[in-house]
Amino acid sequence: MDKRLKEYYKTKKYRGFYKVGEHRHRWTGTTHLTFSDGSKQVHAVGLFREGALEKAFNKIDKFHNTQNGDKSTLKGDKNFILA
């Protein structure tokens, strides 16, 4: 199992983000997840829950890499959504 999934299942958080919403689309077999850290939101859609979690984790990692690199790109944007 991916260490990111282990961290999430153990603490119900990943790098400060927690799940605020989950919707399963039965006809298409996809799951839509929404994660938040209190000010930013990340949306991800994937097959089954694990697929959506993997995509959300990738977006959260990308967000953290952007924050650690060039902070000016996200300055003042409270509704940053990684697509």
pLDDT over 70 (residue 75)? no
The verdict on residue 78 lying in a domain is no
Burial of residue 30, with CB atoms counted within 10 A of its CB: 0-12 exposed, 13-18 middle, 19 or more buried: middle
**How do residues 63-74 score in pLDDT, each as one tens digit?**
989 887 755 444
The verdict on residue 80 lying in a domain is no
Split into its structural domains, the chain has a count of: 1
Of 2-6, 10-14, 41-45, 51-55, the poorest mean pLDDT is in 2-6
The verdict on residue 56 lying in a domain is yes
The residue segments making up the domain with residue 47 are 3-70
The pLDDT, as a whole number, for residue 13 is: 95
The verdict on residue 83 lying in a domain is no
User: Sorting pLDDT into bands at 50, 70 and 90, what band is 60?
Assistant: very high
Please check whether residue 82 is in contact with residue 34, taking contact to mean a CB–CB distance below 8 angstroms: no
pTM of the model: 0.75
The verdict on residue 37 lying in a domain is yes
